[in-house]
Structure 1
Amino acid sequence: MKTIKDVFTVFKRRLGDVYDANETEALTLLVVNEISDLSKAQIKAFPEKEITVGQAESLNRIVIRLQTGEPVQYILGHTEFYGLPFKVNPSVLIPRPETEELVEWVLTSVDSSSLTDYNILDIGTGSGCIAISLKKNLPNASVSAIDISIGALETAKQNADLNKVKVDFIQDDILNSKFKIQNSKISGENNQRFEVIISNPPYVTLYDKTQMHNNVTDFEPHSALFVPEDDPLIFYKAIADFALTHLTASGLLFLEINESLGNETVELLQAKGFNSIELRKDMSGRDRMIRGIRF
């Protein structure tokens, strides 16, 4: 690998069995941008520009790992979500574009409401991408986030520091929650506190797993992905029950969902007593998110 053009040629040859041509080109562009001082536009404009020996060695180490299917985000150690930088590692899921759409839905919903002082809870925060993005865009909100994984919470705390926001991170298992509300502004036997609860919980079934790329199934944390085949909505049941006792009246529940279980998830929320339930498609036209209101 002597020039940028050579890098693209080598990556195309060595990654052809793992990624299609478009994915390989995008990965190569991302990696060259990472290890050089060149913008993506410059990389495309000057394919004959030579790379250094050190850069070539770095690129070779990266392509070896890419050949195994390891996600490039884990290799580089970071990614971007909603315009913000996030550290990622195998203890957290890699943030995805459809989750950005869920964050956008929360922001537009809050903007269109009469809320001026509100509390938000993110369930299963992982890298903290949802909670941190919301806090960054809603600086007056009080944002909390829970996760069962200590490793995930450590990463989320690092990301909060990276993005200079304050989020209260708490270890808890939503399937057996011991969550305690601190400094609640709202009294009552249910100790309701949050105006918004949001979650992107595990929802991948064993059948879904067979359709997924190995860079997800072999590298990303299974506890954040998979659910029992005989109870694919197990987390949604727990989150709905939790939300019924921790949302304020007219509080909003937002969920990212399995695209194959949209109607079933709507029916679940209806049965639990949520109102004004809206099932929304993502940019690809798939049923991927739901909003319900607690009355």
Structure 2
Amino acid sequence: MMTIKDVFEDYRAQINGVYDANEIEAITLLVLGEITGMSNASIKAFPDRVLSTEQAEQTKNVLAELKTGKPIQYIFGVTEFYGLSFKVNPYVLIPRPETEELVEWILEGERQKVKGKRLSILDIGTGSGCIAISLKKNLPGAHVSAIDISTGALETAKGNAELNNVEVNFIETDILNIKSEIEIPKSDIIVSNPPYVTLEDKKKMHSNVTDFEPHTALFVPEDEPLLFYRAVADFALENLNADGQLYFEINEGLGKETVQLLADKGFKDIELRRDMSGRDRMIKASPL
């Protein structure tokens, strides 16, 4: 017989080298909730509840995968972002809380504007589609497009758009080499969370990111860490409508450099914003 309390003890004992105590608590709650259908409050209130044989087996199977460092979101194939459900797999990055803050910043700006014209938004390097889909869900009148180089990522993003009942125009292309025959609409907002992790950064990262999440969506050459920011900024100068805005999620260690890059290219009203953890995490700018 295995109880809820036993599961917490097993997880604490066996993955404490992979995650810290708070993460283990959160993961165990998530696993038990997914397997039993119980709420977090019920799980905490009934630690002596006995799991069925099948449920106990499932918790052990998940634990075995967690011990390899595999993220819980990939194990269950789903995560939550900005109050919506998203399917995730090794083709796409797992959406992060700081990216939710970027979405909120964009929505803050749009809520303050006079309504009337139909807003056009482009998400560059969409991955799971979390930014594009969340914006479309909250700005249903907007025309939203999203591009990515990865066929697998775009298939995942299309599935997520269907899951959340929104229409997004997905385009397969490489922002570093957009072919002339590919048509991308002009936009009022361009947003991008491009690859920005250098090999130096990689050394400090946990293996559950570096071993499992897609490298093309994460890493940039050590000697050119702003490669994608430069390409997106150049694209934005040509493809933003008048009074348009560019939003980036950025490498926290390269805030000043990213601001300087945009200033050198002639962007104005450049604003560097910190996330809830106090790290330089996002930038907004307007073309001249």
SS in structure 1 of the partner of residue 213 of structure 2: coil
Is 1:248 aligned to 2:241, yes or no?
yes
Is 1:120 aligned to 2:121, yes or no?
yes
Q: Report what 1:189 is aligned to.
A: none
RMSD, aligned CA:
1.1
CA distance in 2, matches of 1:120, 1:100: 16
CA distance in 1, matches of 2:71, 2:248: 25
Q: Report what 1:181 is aligned to.
A: 183
CA distance in 2, matches of 1:152, 1:293: 29
CA distance in 2, matches of 1:37, 1:287: 38
SS in structure 2 of the partner of residue 174 of structure 1: coil
Summarize the alignment of residues 112-261 of structure 1 with structure 2, pairs less than 5 Å apart: 112-114=112-114, 116=116, 117-178=118-179, 180-181=182-183, 193-261=186-254
Unaligned runs of 5+ in 2: none
CA distance in 2, matches of 1:169, 1:57: 40
The alpha-carbon deviation at position 4 of structure 1 amounts to 0.2
- Read off the aligned partner of 2:6 and give its amino acid letter: D
CA distance in 2, matches of 1:56, 1:178: 52
SS in structure 1 of the partner of residue 28 of structure 2: helix
CA distance in 2, matches of 1:219, 1:247: 35
SS in structure 2 of the partner of residue 197 of structure 1: strand
How many pairs align? 286
1:280, 1:287 within 8 Å by CA — same for their partners in 2? yes
Runs of 4+ in 1 over 2 A off after TM superposition: 113-116, 178-182
Q: Report what 2:287 is aligned to.
A: 294
- What TM-score do you get using the length of structure 1 for normalisation? 0.95
CA distance in 2, matches of 1:20, 1:256: 26
Unaligned runs of 5+ in 1: 185-192
Is 1:42 aligned to 2:35, yes or no?
no
Among all aligned residue pairs of Structure 1 and Structure 2, give the percentage whose two residues are the same amino acid.
Answer: 64
CA distance in 1, matches of 2:100, 2:37: 28
- Read off the aligned partner of 2:247 and give its amino acid letter: F
CA distance in 2, matches of 1:115, 1:211: 45
Q: Deviations over 1:245-275 (max 9, x none)?
A: 1101110000000000000000000111111
Summarize the alignment of residues 84-95 of structure 1 with structure 2, pairs less than 5 Å apart: 84-95=84-95
CA distance in 2, matches of 1:251, 1:29: 43
- Read off the aligned partner of 1:170 and give its amino acid letter: I
